[in-house]
Chains A and B, each alone.
Chain A
């Protein structure tokens, strides 16, 4: 049976077919959908972890205990988990352990576009790169076997394009439902699992030997294959880049790499000897290319296929043309049948200039009043990872630093401690607070810092589509659980200067910020409560309407940056500026604009709640 699956859904299916018993992840684009897909299958315990390290640690424990386990995360999440990952390479595994790293070339939803294949070389474990959904499923299954055969964690590297593209996958439904039996008692192996220095020194040579064995295995690994066609050009490619290259270099020879670390050097030498011009097409860094060059082979690579941004058919094609390579140009003739001819013809296209739609906070978003006030008070803002990063964009333009999960508090503290004269506020969401904010808050309290931390609690992990977290009281598998109360946590850490405010009370938020930032000799915390519009807790209220008789087009409401507030056709006679109007379908009745309007030209419609 064939089913249409995204790469992420296929990874989940492959893991399930492999008999995975435990899986954990912290949500992060483009990896997020793997765990919810796994949670649907029977016999798997699937969890949202508080952060990526917690996810990998739990997967490691499961593996040591004899259960096949998987941890999934976005590329920068691996940085968080890397402390454990580097040493997991030394311990090896009990049952198969697979780390899914979903990279984001093009940084569609990330703070950088790092290439995580380097982790495989850094940590000396294998890296598999599928190039479509079918391979995503097959390679994931294979990864568990590889992990056990070589006693190593295995990294399955996806990218945004693979994770989020859907193609048909052959699904084999098991004959009978799988009932996982109890695990045997834990097999104690302290020299393998307890990495004190003496044990680590003993393990290191074994890891080098394992890498050697993996490199030999790579020569016959079924995930790597040579496709002999026209031998004037030979292309080495893996992952989604292979698909682009196959279209651009249709008809030429390929070495398709499914395992991109360690590389099959013998296969590469033989391939290079069998063709005239060697080309490497890979996304981001010259990871394969540099290793191929180290073999003394000449290769066309990153000088033509850029290391920045996502590759596309167009970019691969453009690179090929610049490199003077013959490529196949598809010329549409009629209907859907296309005729393939060699050549350099660029498709005709329209040149239209349409302004982009910048990301904006949703109508009703609880972060709106925060950034409106921060802007009004002209404070320095250290931001964090989440929807509230939109605070850096117009109309707020009220964020001065942002690097990674939890960093807002630390950056605010450091800037202040070093003597920065400005008043500084850190803004961090609830999920991010539990991910990496806790130690940072402990740090600022311990070191008698003086910045204000604003915890924007919207009751969900909003940016990635609304996943539960330690504060929401629900697990990934839908059970009710302890909801960790942020206010109690902050109080327990000894913060006495604490404000708890309603996000939709614009004046209340302003008042709290004014009072908190007036204190400059100890850390303060403001918890801003307001449900994300995508949570069940959110209550939509009657839409706000503009009285065009009273509105004089002052434009202040435009500065709350709400997509529901539009410039109307009507222009005020005196100010010569367009009056405001509100899209009743988009408006959620949060009334932030109404509270901000100096002329009281807005009112809330009565009537039943939508």
Chain B
């Protein structure tokens, strides 16, 4: 059979805001996505935005994949938001562009007063009770990885689940199995939601 070298990946241009509370793993999540993009041959710029850091405070990071070397994302221009906590999701919604997508760890949909704004800018919010799922798997600590799996099931995050799995395998030295299970659980939940038609492509 004719062996052909893999063709270079298409350049992507993707701006992601990641948000949560101190201790929830925003920085780990950013590294997971960034390392995966690097593995795919994409240029990456990831910025942590933290102030007087402390347990329970707001943590945000900005991740740009595909060329821009300016570290921060302008409000109104992010393609995706991954939020590990509903209030932090709302706080960071203004970063999303028209038509942007938010993946949120939440039991319910976001506050109704936000809905009108979301509709105006055609922003889609996809919620998943990732904390509950993480507890069921055995540790609240893998909430972030579940949310990444969830987002990876959606076409707006063009990072293949296999590459994410490989990156996670190298990154998660402790509790590797649990982390991989979490990625899988989030991914399956996302796929199920799409099949059920509640998650638009």
Contact = CB atoms under 8 A, between A and B. Distances in A.
Interface of A: 2-4, 108-109, 131-132, 161-162, 164-168, 240, 243-244, 246-247, 312-314, 317, 330, 332, 334, 336-338, 346-352, 354, 356-357, 359-363, 387, 389-390, 463, 465, 533, 563, 585-586
Contacts, number: 144
B94 A349 contact: yes
Contacts of B75: 314, 347, 349
Contacts of B194: none
Interface of B: 12-14, 21, 30-31, 34-35, 38, 43-48, 50-58, 66, 68-77, 79, 87, 90-91, 93-99, 114, 117-118, 121, 123, 140, 158
A363 B55 contact: yes
B46 A313 contact: no
A317 B53 CA distance: 29
A234 B158 CA distance: 37
B54 A167 contact: no
Given A168-B43, A350-B96, A352-B93, A463 B52 contact: yes
A247 B68 contact: yes
A357 B69 contact: no
A336 B56 contact: no
Nearest to A533: B55
6 smallest CB-CB distances across A and B, nearest first, come from: A347-B76, A349-B76, A362-B55, A243-B70, A166-B46, A354-B91
Nearest to A534: B55
Contact of A390 (B52, B118, B140): B52
Contacts of B46: 4, 165-167
A336 B118 CA distance: 20
A202 B121 CA distance: 69
Contacts of B74: 312-314, 317, 347
Contacts of B117: 350-352
Most buried by A among B54, B57, B76: B54
A161 B94 contact: no
A569 to B, nearest CB: 16
B149 to A, nearest CB: 20
Nearest to A316: B70
A276 to B, nearest CB: 24
Contacts of B57: 357, 359-360
B27 to A, nearest CB: 10
Given A167-B46, A314-B75, 18 more contacts: A4-B35, A161-B47, A240-B71, A334-B99, A336-B12, A336-B66, A347-B97, A348-B98, A349-B121, A350-B114, A350-B117, A350-B121, A352-B114, A357-B57, A359-B51, A359-B54, A360-B57, A362-B55
A356 B60 CA distance: 13
Contacts of B140: 585
A563 B98 contact: no
15 contacts: A162-B71, A165-B47, A167-B43, A312-B72, A314-B75, A332-B79, A332-B99, A336-B79, A347-B76, A352-B94, A352-B117, A362-B54, A362-B56, A563-B56, A585-B140
B77 A586 contact: no
Contacts of A338: 13
